[in-house]
Amino acid sequence: MLFSRSLQRTLLKILSLFSLVRGYNIAILVIAQYLTARYILSPETGWWNLVFDLPFFCIVAASALTSAAGYIINNFYDAAKDQINRPKKYVLEHLVSQQLQLVLYLLLNLLCLIFASGVSFRAVLFFLFYMFSIWLYSSWIKRLFWLSNLFAALLMIFPFWGITLYLENFETVVFYHAAYLFFLILARDIVKDLENLKGDWVQRYKTLPIVFNVSITKTISTLVMLFCFLPSYYLIQEPLGVMQYYFKAGIPFLVFVLVFLWRAQDQKAYLWTHNLIKFWILIGVLSIVLIYQNP
């Protein structure tokens, strides 16, 4: 019985750590970076060469470690509002003490710099800038409505800029892909502000729904999602194989999301809208492997 309880506590702490560092998001980030490198940035490079490219692995590992550390420090600063918006998630993630969270945050960043040093000094500077930007966002910028959403979206695509610099592919189609992802993430972040309205208001965050109102925030989110159609129009013209259908299907899908968003009235409905956008981002990541498949 005692062993069973000890095992249960251990499993709960592991689950707490997984939730704390957003293990699901980190796994998707790593997969997305490898798929992006293999099929978009360096299509002439085979899987064997890419997997055994040690500097590239170090960049991906550093990106994952910095992002995981970023989720921890963001959780640390958002603890008070998360207690209001997500009480169950708050309880789970705080099975790990805040002191231990900060130790883990420093350890992950240190490991990131060790991996980055295996690439170059410029890589170390790149990830130092990334770390500082995440801390700045979590501690201050997140409370500024005119900057927080844009900054959050840029931080999410920053790791892809790292592998783009390493593989030195600056073709126009790469920036179309980046723009599409950026607008999806930005729209998702704005919807997330609607979802977190109660906690943000109590903690005096200056988010769009608080500074303006829910209706104007929905309008802004609608415009951002409509901006996704611009890069998707150009990407549909590119020789992307079966993946072109992802961008074609994105038009009716995002229209459906917008209808759902405008009908949403409570936190649960906004969470569904948020998850629908996350789902479409995940489908986009997985569909990268279809680029060279003939339609």
| Assigned domain for 1 exists | no
291 and 263 inside one domain: yes
The number of folded domains in the chain is 2
Q: Residue 75: its pLDDT value, please?
A: 87
111 and 190 inside one domain: no
Last residue of a domain, one of 127, 148, 169: 169
Last residue of a domain, one of 169, 188, 215: 169
| Assigned domain for 55 exists | yes
Q: Residue 129: its pLDDT value, please?
A: 96
159 and 217 inside one domain: no
Q: Residue 294: its pLDDT value, please?
A: 55
Helical pair 54-77 and 98-117, crossing angle rounded to 10 deg: 160
219 and 88 inside one domain: no
Q: Residue 226: its pLDDT value, please?
A: 94
- CB contact at 8 A, 163 and 59: yes
> DSSP 3-state helix, strand, coil percentages of the chain (rounded to 5)?
85, 0, 15
Candidates 159, 166, 157; CA nearest to 189 is 157
187 and 261 inside one domain: yes
100 and 193 inside one domain: no
Last residue of a domain, one of 141, 169, 197: 169
248 and 190 inside one domain: yes
Q: Which residue range is the domain that position 49 belongs to?
A: 11-169
**Low-confidence spans in the chain with pLDDT less than 50:** 2
Q: Residue 16: its pLDDT value, please?
A: 79
| Assigned domain for 6 exists | no
Measured between alpha carbons, how far is residue 131 from residues 43, 88, 139 in Å? 30, 28, 12
Residues 32-76 pLDDT 10s: 999 999 998 888 888 999 999 999 999 999 999 999 999 999 988
Q: Residue 239: its pLDDT value, please?
A: 82
162 and 234 inside one domain: no
| Assigned domain for 104 exists | yes
21 and 98 inside one domain: yes
139 and 27 inside one domain: yes
CATH assignment at residue 114: 1.10.357
Candidates 289, 259, 283; CA nearest to 272 is 259
